[in-house]
Amino acid sequence: MSEAAAGGAEVRAFADPEATAAAAAELLAELLAAAAARSGRARIALSGGGTPVAAYRRLGPLVRDWSAIDVFLADERCVPFEHDDSNARLVVESLGAGAHDLLVHRLVEGGSPGDRARAYAHDLGETPLDVVLLGLGEDGHTASLFPGHGALEAEGRTVAVLDSPKPPPERVTLTVPALCAAGRLVLLVTGAGKADALARSLGEPGPQAPVSLLPRERLLVLADEDALAPARAAGLVRS
């Protein structure tokens, strides 16, 4: 593992996806334990997608007391919990251990995406999240904040997305202000397919790279070498 800085963000590099997932699980467990020790409860938002599943499987048994943790979703697809596309289902099933203690805040079922986004903002409340685990799409999206999309301008804590370029189209996502308020943003990226998007995310801030709009002093990137290659070549990440 090497450590490097990219415009104020911390970058930790790993040999492969498995090592990256193991490091992510350990880091999240540490951050949750520290937050719970500070204030009695910890609040985390987790992303969907395939990349974090290995990390969530490791994280489940690493956390001693899930009942002290509120698990929110960085974004959710507007589908029932039982649906294969449900991020809540993915999180519950992959964290596994301690599932009976697991408090995963889900979207209300039914209603328009706008109604669901408002209900989710209410559920989140005003207290900032301690940690958010973010993924990255090949197009540069994070949570359900897509490059150049109007949702990037949203001012509340959540916003409905009605036309997600990645299916399914209807989603609810944390907004840029909600992410900016979080204590720590952990971006988990592996594979050459995400490499150009990662380089853009660590480059000049702009709406074409939603991650670039987040506060870099609170951004910690965990990535494998395949994902980091173009960012290194561009001098954005140094060992």
Ligand X SMILES: O=C(O)[C@H](O)[C@@H](O)[C@H](O)[C@H](O)COP(=O)(O)O
Q: At 161, phi and psi to the nearest 5?
A: -115, 125
Q: How many CB atoms are closer than 10 A to CB 109?
A: 10
Residues 124-143 that bind ligand X (CB under 6 A): 135-137, 141-143
For residue 144, the minimal CB distance to ligand X (Å) is 6
For residue 22, the minimal CB distance to ligand X (Å) is 16
The answer to the question of residue 50 lying near ligand X (CB under 6 A) is yes
Residues 17-36 that bind ligand X (CB under 6 A): none
The answer to the question of residue 49 lying near ligand X (CB under 6 A) is yes
Beta strand extents in 170-232 (DSSP E only): 171-174, 184-189, 219-224
Q: Which is nearer to ligand X, 88 or 231 (CB)?
A: 88
Among 93, 128, 166, 225, binds ligand X (CB under 6 A): 166
Q: What distance separates the 2 farthest-apart alpha carbons in the chain?
A: 49
Q: Which is nearer to ligand X, 68 or 188 (CB)?
A: 188
Dihedral, 127, 133, 137, 138 alpha carbons, nearest 10: 130
For residue 163, the minimal CB distance to ligand X (Å) is 14
For residue 65, the minimal CB distance to ligand X (Å) is 26
For residue 232, the minimal CB distance to ligand X (Å) is 21
In angstroms, what CA-CA distances link 166 with 21, 134, 160, 204, 205?
23, 16, 14, 24, 23
For residue 153, the minimal CB distance to ligand X (Å) is 18
What is the Cβ-side half-sphere exposure of residue 6, based on CA atoms within 13 angstroms? 32
The answer to the question of residue 201 lying near ligand X (CB under 6 A) is no
For residue 116, the minimal CB distance to ligand X (Å) is 15
Give the closest residue to 119 by CA, choosing from 163, 73, 164, 179: 73
CA 24 – CA 221 distance, rounded (Å): 10
Q: Which is nearer to ligand X, 49 or 183 (CB)?
A: 49
Among 28, 56, 66, 75, binds ligand X (CB under 6 A): 75
Dihedral, 93, 89, 19, 203 alpha carbons, nearest 10: -170
Among 51, 158, 175, 212, binds ligand X (CB under 6 A): 51
Q: Do residues 155 and 191 make contact, with C-beta atoms less than 8 angstroms apart?
A: no
Number of residues that bind ligand X (CB under 6 A): 15
Binding site for ligand X (CB under 6 A): 47-51, 74-75, 87, 135-137, 141-143, 166
